[in-house]
Amino acid sequence: NEEMIRRSEKLSVVGQLAAGVAHEIRNPLTSLKGFLQLMKADTENNEARYKDKEYIEIMLAELNRINFIVSEFMVLSKPQELHVQNKNVVLLLKEVLAILDTQAILKNIRLLTEIQGNLPTISCEPNQIKQVFINILKNAMEAMNAGGEITIAVTQCEERYICIDVTDQGPGIPEDRLKKIGEPFYTTKEKGTGLGLMVSNKIIQNHKGTISYESEIGKGTTVKIKLPIMQ
């Protein structure tokens, strides 16, 4: 029991740290952006400095992208104030894909979606569902060092559920390890936390859904999420 308390403490500290780090990154970014805007104003109407102007514009665009990513993570790491909303999960999925896009390209991974039309909404905490998508897609990408495809299929299933299946082409998970997945701090990665799937399981449980893992060695892994459609 003491062990459990220690772990839950560690968990809340991790969340606070993430929010804190995101916040600390925002301030210097704002100052960088301010000075770049001043420099850009300096180059206006100065034909000799047209190249500088071009570079500054690229830097500003890249800063905006960093800002966007950091603010997404700040939203995600905010403490649990539950705001339940009716949402189409596909919209949430697309927001997450926009965040992970660059990382996927760098790893030579294609993120493919197969989405059924006219899906009903679900009642959910949007940031938590986004967190689940991020955790699962990051695991899939981390499992695929040789690149390849990750398929995300979203369908209405069993009449009253939305099913989200994420399939990767990674090495797969041996059966004895499959049982341990989702245990707090279970990780096989040098820099892993072993928290991602524990948090994801908890979130899906809170939404009265289910999450399961199927895997075949040498072929890949499928994470299956089922979320109830609102009545």
Residues that bind ligand ADP (CB under 6 A): 135, 139-140, 143, 168, 170, 173, 181, 186-189, 192-198, 221
Q: Is 209 in the site for Mg ion (CB under 5 A)?
A: no
- Minimum gap (Å) between residue 144 Cβ and ligand ADP: 8
Q: Which is nearer to Mg ion, 139 or 201 (CB)?
A: 139
- Minimum gap (Å) between residue 34 Cβ and ligand ADP: 36
Structure tokens at 137: 């897609």
Instruction: Kindly report the number of other CB atoms within 10 A of residue 142's CB atom.
Output: 16
Is residue 15 packed enough to be buried (19+ CB in 10 Å), middle (13-18) or exposed (0-12)? middle
Give the contacts of 166 (CB within 8 A, at least 6 positions apart): 136, 137, 140, 150, 151, 152, 222, 223, 225
Candidates 139, 81, 66, 68; CA nearest to 109 is: 139
Q: Distances from the Cα of 223 to the Cαs of 172, 179, 201, in angstroms?
A: 11, 14, 11
Q: Which is nearer to ligand ADP, 67 or 193 (CB)?
A: 193
Residues 165-204 binding Mg ion (CB under 5 A) are 196
Q: Which is nearer to ligand ADP, 189 or 208 (CB)?
A: 189
Q: Which is nearer to Mg ion, 156 or 187 (CB)?
A: 187
Pick one of Mg ion, ligand ADP, none as the site partner of residue 152 (Cβ within 5 to 8 A by kind): none
Q: Which is nearer to ligand ADP, 75 or 178 (CB)?
A: 178
Q: Which is nearer to ligand ADP, 43 or 196 (CB)?
A: 196
- Minimum gap (Å) between residue 62 Cβ and ligand ADP: 28
State the Cα–Cα distance between residues 198 and 185, nearest whole angstrom: 8
State the Cα–Cα distance between residues 100 and 122, nearest whole angstrom: 23
Candidates 90, 86, 87, 36; CA nearest to 64 is: 36
Instruction: Kindly report the number of other CB atoms within 10 A of residue 209's CB atom.
Output: 20
Residue number of the CB atom closest to Mg ion: 196
- Minimum gap (Å) between residue 196 Cβ and Mg ion: 3
- Minimum gap (Å) between residue 194 Cβ and ligand ADP: 5
Residues 110-149 binding Mg ion (CB under 5 A) are 139
- Minimum gap (Å) between residue 134 Cβ and ligand ADP: 10
216 forms beta bridges with 220
Q: Which residues bind Mg ion (CB under 5 A)?
A: 139, 196
